[in-house]
């Protein structure tokens, strides 16, 4: 039979965990709470009931509705013996701040299999949620900007090869995704401009300098339009190129002779 672990040694191990953690007995009385959980929950003390915490802090579902007392993750584990894994919920503190967490609650059993309590761990995902919201909003704004300006937005890897789709490019040129990838963009550049466009692009990639050139681009209706292409490298903290981001837009004017020479930079 394995020797029982001294309580103080057990508590030391629990304090070393990297997530907020609360241990309650069968009645929901707090036996142990680590510092991370105290920082997150604030009002919980050893010897108090975790259910008392909910009197001052609302426990909310992801949709913002309030949990019924017996439906909270720790109550289901401590009182029903249910195992809860990574349940997303929100905690509204008395100051109005809302914290989002992933809660995992597990019933604790003694040697006979009888339930003696529950262990609750949480992972604060508030900043992660805010970042995801910011990214979604940024993507929406970027998409709106593309639609408003009519620019063809594109991205390549560090070597200058297209690896990601560009719906705006495909909508303008009529190319399929497979036709666009790699160096496929060159096949819709006017044959007389293709070498110049490719040399300008290769020179920019080799020198890691800003890319700018003009060429005639075949539209989806087979009409060639003068376009201006610009691109710049995205660099890492050491100055290495991560990828290239660029845009191409239609600068043609009614009556412009598409078979004429490239317009000079103004």
Q: Give the Cα separation of 83 and 118 in Å (integer).
A: 9
By C-alpha distance, which of 83, 89, 86 is closest to 118?
A: 83
Kindly state the DSSP code that residue 155 receives in the 8-state scheme: E
Give the per-residue pLDDT at 57.
Answer: 75
Q: Give the Cα separation of 75 and 105 in Å (integer).
A: 9
Contact 216, 201 (CB under 8 A): no
Contact 67, 61 (CB under 8 A): yes
Largest CA distance in the chain: 93
Instruction: State the number of CA atoms in the 13 A half-sphere of 86 facing the CB.
Output: 1
pLDDT in tens, the chain (266 residues): 444 545 555 556 566 567 888 888 888 888 888 888 877 777 677 787 777 776 667 888 888 888 888 888 888 888 888 899 999 988 887 778 888 888 898 888 888 888 888 888 888 887 777 777 776 776 666 666 656 556 788 989 999 999 988 888 999 999 999 999 999 999 999 999 999 999 999 999 999 999 999 999 999 999 999 999 999 999 888 888 999 989 998 988 654 444 444 444 43
Contact 213, 193 (CB under 8 A): no
Model confidence over 37-86: pLDDT tens digits? 877 777 677 787 777 776 667 888 888 888 888 888 888 888 888 899 99
Q: Give the Cα separation of 94 and 97 in Å (integer).
A: 7
Q: Give the Cα separation of 108 and 117 in Å (integer).
A: 5
| Domains of the chain, each with CATH number or no CATH | 7-126 (3.30.450.20), 144-250 (3.30.450.20)
Please calculate the CA angle 114-115-120 and round it to the nearest 5 degrees. 155
Q: Which residue has the tokens 């709470």?
A: 33
Give the per-residue pLDDT at 73.
Answer: 86
């Amino acid at each position: 039979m394995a020797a029982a672990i001294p309580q103080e040694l057990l508590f030391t191990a629990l304090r070393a965990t990297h997530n907020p953690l609360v241990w309650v007995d069968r009645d929901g009385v707090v036996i142990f709470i680590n510092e991370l959980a105290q920082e997150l929950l604030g009002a919980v003390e050893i010897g108090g009931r975790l259910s008392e915490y909910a009197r001052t802090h609302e426990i909310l579902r992801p949709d913002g509705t309030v949990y019924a007392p017996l439906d909270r993750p720790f109550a289901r584990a401590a009182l029903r013996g249910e195992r809860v894994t990574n349940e997303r919920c929100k905690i509204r503190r008395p100051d109005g701040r809302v914290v989002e967490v992933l809660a995992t609650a597990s019933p604790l059993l003694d040697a006979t299999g009888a339930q003696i309590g529950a262990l609750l761990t949480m992972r604060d995902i508030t900043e992660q949620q805010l970042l995801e919201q910011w990214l979604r909003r940024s993507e929406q704004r970027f998409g709106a900007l593309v639609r408003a300006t009519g620019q063809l937005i594109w991205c390549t890897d560090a070597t200058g090869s297209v690896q990601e789709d560009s719906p705006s490019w495909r909508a303008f040129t009529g190319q399929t995704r497979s036709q666009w990838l790699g160096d496929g963009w060159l096949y819709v550049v006017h044959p007389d401009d293709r070498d110049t466009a490719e040399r300008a692009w290769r020179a920019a990639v080799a020198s890691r300098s800003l890319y700018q050139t003009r060429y005639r681009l075949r539209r989806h209706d087979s009409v060639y339009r003068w376009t201006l292409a610009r691109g710049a490298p995205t660099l890492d903290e050491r100055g290495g190129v991560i990828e290239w981001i660029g845009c191409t837009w239609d600068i043609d004017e009614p009556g412009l002779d598409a078979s004429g020479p490239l317009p000079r930079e103004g």
